[in-house]
Amino acid sequence: MRVDVPGLRRALVPPDSVEWLYELRKFRHFFRNAYTLDLDPAKVRARVRDLEAAAPSVTEALDRFADELASAIRELTAT
């Protein structure tokens, strides 16, 4: 979702958010698969800061994507 597909769709994930989202995904994957876990508060705070930093651009990108989908649906269902 971070790659433009010409003629199909723009990239959904903003380039400035890719690394943050990757780190958040790694943390989520680790957390979901660790049954006995001692969380490092510093790492948790770092991931929270990443999420707070990435949230505005990701939210904007998702809103833009939703608008583009709605537009495509209108075009496809127009008679």
Residue with tokens 């800061």: 49
Question: Token pair of 44, please?
Answer: 């948790």
Q: Which residues sit opposite 5 in a β-bridge?
A: 9
In the structure, what pLDDT confidence band is assigned to residue 77 with cuts at 50, 70 and 90? very high
- Three-class secondary structure of residue 35 per DSSP: coil
Distances (CA, A) of 9 to 1, 67, 70: 9, 12, 13
Query: How far apart (Å, rounded) are the C-alpha atoms in residues 29 and 64?
Result: 27
Higher pLDDT, 29 or 5: 5
Q: Rounded to two decimals, what is the model's pTM? A: 0.62
d(CA 65, CA 10): 8
Reply yes or no on whether the pLDDT at 35 is more than 80. no
Q: pLDDT digits over 47-63, tens only?
A: 888 888 888 888 988 89
- The percent of residues above 70 in pLDDT, for the chain, comes to 95
